[in-house]
């Protein structure tokens, strides 16, 4: 009976994933339609922390329509004020445009990211790169995919690999630690990349383009969907302290293929 219940649950999640992915793709069309982006760009906390009218439009669209996928679910989006706990019950954790600075400057490394969690555990994740036309998806215990094809982390050790890293320019208190950790990993790796979209960085690990990724400070909407895509692709993800990610707070993120799961223990963080 338990096995049958699990199969039914997976089927339900797959149906929810299909509906969510369709909405995310429609949201991606809003991004692709963007014109004169600088004229509708505003500072949030600083010149490095931007929001555009397109961020707001995508978030409004998703908030309006995601209830059709999971009625009654909390909507926890980047551009919203947050007074509720996304770890209680069902919650959509949404970044309407991850990589806003890239988007504003015409650097085509931007994503829409939607995760759906139940009591703090992400059940499905969708990350869309509208410019490359790549749709990354995953459901818990159902595998990870890119445009419907299964993906898996690489099997390369870091000595043969490339890593990604992120720096929140408006959280400069982590700058020294970030550069120190980057140097430690770079001395062991072939090369590194700093792309500007954590959601896509995590998907790069999931599909084997890079071997690991880290950042000292990310918000739940940055990593919710991508974290599930990584684990369903056979990877490992945690904070830099080795603890599980928590959707209720900002935290550090370390994602890697399985071969490099213990590299973090060998570094000074």
The pLDDT assigned to 47 comes to 66
Predicted confidence at residue 3, as pLDDT, reads: 43
DSSP characters over the chain = -HHHHHHHHHHHHHHHHHHHHHHHHHHHHHHHT--SGGGGEEEEEETTEEEEHHHHHHHHHHHHHGGGTSTT-EEEETTS---S-TTSSEEEEEEEEE-HHHHHTT-S--EEEEEEEETTEEEEEEEEETTTTEEEEEETTS-EEETTEE-------GGG-EEEE---TT-GGGHHHHHHHHHHHHTTSSEEE--S-HHHHHHHHHTTSSSEEEEEEE-HHHHHHHHHHHHHTT-EEE-TTSPPP-TTS-EEEEEE-GGGTTGGGGS--
What parts of the chain have a pLDDT lower than 50? 1-8
What local confidence, expressed as pLDDT, does residue 144 receive? 98
Ramachandran angles phi, psi of 149, nearest 5°: -100, 135
- pLDDT at 40 (0 to 100): 85
pLDDT at 42: 82
- Protein fold of 2-150: Fructose-1,6-Bisphosphatase; Chain A, domain 1 (3.30.540)
Domain 158-266 has CATH 3.30.310.80: no
Give Cβ neighbours of residue 93 (< 8 Å, ≥ 6 apart). Answer: 76, 77, 86, 114, 115, 116, 117, 122, 220, 221, 224, 225, 247
Q: pLDDT at position 5, please?
A: 38
The whole-angstrom separation of Cα 259 and Cα 255 is 11
Predicted pLDDT of residue 80: 77
Q: In the chain, what are the domain boundaries?
A: 2-150, 158-266
């Amino acid at each position: 009976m338990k096995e049958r219940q699990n199969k039914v649950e997976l089927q339900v999640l797959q149906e929810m994933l299909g509906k969510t992915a369709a909405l995310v793709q429609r949201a991606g069309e809003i991004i692709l339609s963007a014109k004169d982006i600088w004229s509708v760009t505003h500072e949030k906390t600083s010149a490095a922390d931007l929001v555009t009218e397109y961020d707001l439009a995508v978030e409004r669209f998703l908030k309006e329509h995601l209830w059709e996928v999971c009625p009654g679910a909390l909507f926890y989006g980047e551009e919203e004020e947050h007074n509720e706990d996304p770890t209680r019950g069902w919650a959509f954790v949404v970044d309407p445009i991850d990589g806003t600075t890239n988007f504003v400057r015409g650097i085509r490394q931007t994503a829409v990211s939607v995760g759906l969690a139940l009591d703090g555990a992400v059940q499905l994740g969708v990350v869309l790169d509208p410019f490359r036309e790549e749709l990354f998806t995953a459901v818990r215990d159902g595998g990870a995919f890119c445009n419907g094809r299964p993906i898996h982390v690489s099997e390369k050790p870091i000595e043969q690999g490339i890593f990604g890293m992120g720096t929140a320019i408006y959280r400069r208190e982590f700058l020294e630690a970030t550069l120190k950790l980057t140097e430690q990993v770079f001395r062991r790796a072939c090369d590194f990349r700093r792309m500007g979209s954590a959601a896509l960085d995590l998907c790069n690990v999931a599909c084997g383009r890079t071997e690991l990724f880290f950042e000292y400070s990310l918000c739940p909407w940055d990593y919710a969907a991508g974290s599930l895509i990584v684990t369903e692709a056979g990877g490992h993800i945690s904070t830099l302290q080795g603890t599980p990610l928590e959707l209720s707070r900002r935290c550090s993120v370390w994602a890697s293929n399985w071969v490099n799961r213990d590299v973090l223990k060998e570094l000074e963080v």
